[in-house]
């Protein structure tokens, strides 16, 4: 994503949604109807229920279309599983935008093969909770159908493995043009953290599922656990950020170190990006309560030539 690809000046508006959640169709505590109600009551515009697509649950692809209204919509999806990663017996792959009737995995189908099939069927593909799954760079690079890395997983935070930015930054530095999203992974079980605490803000011209899905695939979104990003722009080697009141704004990227601005109720600041050369950078905003908002990676050099 180049600066010109960022969502802030694109047509439409931002729609708040969660891309990873579970109902009682798999291992969640609540029905699909109650799960959707929780998100709608919390001010979300859309939800993707991603129940575990496993044999013990009957390979559910939960049909949430009846829950759609003019003010709240759903994206069909599932959390896909297949063997195996370097550290774990199965992959965890978020697939949002799957068609009903998507076939279960074959016994010999690997995680990367399953993800490719889901992407070919029209889904947005995310690497679910990489830190919690102990994904390695080798694992991640094999998942070549992925659109994005799940860089914050609220459920995994209880294990101190909610943050997956390190792996994402390694992949970005190796030239992988992925984006990055935050999600709840809500199950609403009694021992879990509360849901509705992490989300994406997707820029689209309407709340139609097809419009949201197209914007997700294009990277026209940012992620948050609290703050709002109003604008990011690059001019004369400086990135200018406008946001809701923040105590810290920082830019990190494809080189060690960061550019940081701290203050009380910051709503606009500019920081240089020269230290990142022709690589990438990304913006993080932190508010007084510790909530954060993250941009997708911004690629500062020329777009690489398309391979024949």
pLDDT band of residue 12 (cuts 50, 70, 90) is: very high
Residue 251 has pLDDT above 90, yes or no: yes
Greater confidence (12 vs 304) lies with 12
Q: For position 171, what pLDDT does the model report?
A: 98
Residue 3 has pLDDT above 80, yes or no: no
CB 125 within 8 A of CB 118: yes
Q: For position 306, what pLDDT does the model report?
A: 47
* Mean pLDDT of the region 129-156: 98
pLDDT band of residue 216 (cuts 50, 70, 90) is: very high
Residue with tokens 């170190």: 257
Q: Write phi, then psi, for 88 (nearest 5 degrees).
A: -135, 160
* Mean pLDDT of the region 48-77: 98
Task: Please give the CATH number for the structural domain made up of 229-299.
Answer: 2.60.40.10
Bridge partners of residue 204, in order along the sequence = 13
Please state whether the peptide bond connecting residue 178 to the residue before it is cis, i.e. omega within 30 degrees of 0.
no
* Mean pLDDT of the region 160-172: 98
Q: For position 119, what pLDDT does the model report?
A: 98
264: exposed, middle or buried (Cβ count in 10 Å: 0-12, 13-18, 19+): exposed
Q: For position 308, what pLDDT does the model report?
A: 41
The residues spanned by each domain of the chain are 3-223, 229-299
Q: For position 160, what pLDDT does the model report?
A: 96
* Mean pLDDT of the region 42-71: 98
In this prediction the pTM is: 0.96
Residue with tokens 């001019």: 235
Q: For position 9, what pLDDT does the model report?
A: 94
Q: For position 58, what pLDDT does the model report?
A: 98
Bridge partners of residue 223, in order along the sequence = 200, 294
Top CATH class of 3-223 equals alpha beta
Residue 307 has pLDDT above 50, yes or no: no
Report the share of the chain in percent with pLDDT over 90.
93
Question: 1-10, 13-22, 155-164, 192-201: which range is least confident on average?
Answer: 1-10
Q: For position 136, what pLDDT does the model report?
A: 98
Residue 198 has pLDDT above 50, yes or no: yes
* Mean pLDDT of the region 227-236: 96
Interatomic CA distance for residues 58 and 103, integer angstroms: 12
* Mean pLDDT of the region 42-54: 98
Greater confidence (193 vs 160) lies with 160
Q: For position 299, what pLDDT does the model report?
A: 93
pLDDT in tens, 26-43: 999 999 999 999 999 999
Equal fold, 3-223 vs 229-299: no
Q: What is the DSSP string of the chain?
A: --GGG-STTSSSEEEEEES-B--TTTT-SS-HHHHHHHHHHTT-SEEEE--EE-GGGT------GGG--SS-EEEEEEEE--S--SSSSS--EEEESPPTTPPPPPTT--HHHHHHHHHHTT-EEEE--HHHHT--HHHHHH-TT--EEEEEETTGGGGT--B-HHHHHHHHHTT---EEEEE--B---TTSPPSS--EEEEEESSS-HHHHHHHHHHT-EEEESS--EEEEEEETTEEEEEEEEEEEEEEEESSSS-EEEEEEEEEEEEEE-GGGTTSEEEEEEE-TTS-EEEPPPEE-SPPPPPP-
Residue 269 has pLDDT above 60, yes or no: yes
Tell me the average pLDDT of the chain.
95
């Amino acid at each position: 994503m180049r600066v010109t690809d960022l969502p802030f000046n694109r047509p439409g508006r931002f729609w708040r949604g969660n891309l990873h959640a579970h109902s009682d169709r798999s291992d969640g505590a609540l029905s699909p109807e109650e799960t959707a109600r929780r998100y709608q009551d919390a001010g979300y515009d859309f939800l993707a229920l991603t129940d575990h697509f496993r044999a013990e649950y009957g390979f559910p692809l939960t049909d949430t279309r009846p829950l759609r209204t003019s003010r709240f919509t759903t994206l069909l999806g599932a959390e896909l599983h297949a063997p195996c990663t370097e550290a774990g017996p199965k992959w965890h792959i978020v697939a949002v935008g799957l068609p009903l009737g998507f076939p279960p995995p074959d016994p010999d189908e690997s995680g990367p093969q399953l993800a490719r099939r889901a992407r070919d069927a029209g889904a947005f593909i995310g690497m679910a909770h990489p830190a919690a799954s102990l994904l390695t760079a080798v694992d991640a690079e094999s998942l070549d159908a992925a659109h994005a890395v799940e860089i914050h997983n609220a459920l995994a935070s209880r294990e101190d493995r909610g943050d997956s930015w390190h792996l994402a930054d390694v992949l970005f530095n190796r030239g992988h043009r992925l984006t990055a999203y935050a999600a709840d992974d809500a199950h609403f079980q009694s021992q879990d953290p509360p849901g509705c605490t992490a989300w994406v803000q997707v820029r689209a011209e309407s709340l139609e599922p097809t419009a949201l899905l197209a914007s997700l695939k294009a990277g026209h979104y940012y992620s948050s656990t609290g703050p709002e990003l109003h604008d990011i722009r690059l001019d004369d080697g400086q990135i200018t950020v406008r946001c809701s009141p923040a105590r810290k704004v920082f830019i990190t990227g494809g080189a060690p170190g960061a550019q940081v601005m701290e203050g009380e109720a910051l709503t606009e600041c500019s920081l240089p990006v020269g230290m990142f050369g022709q690589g990438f950078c990304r913006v993080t905003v932190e508010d007084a309560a510790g909530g954060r908002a993250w941009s997708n990676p911004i690629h500062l050099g020329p777009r690489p030539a398309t391979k024949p």
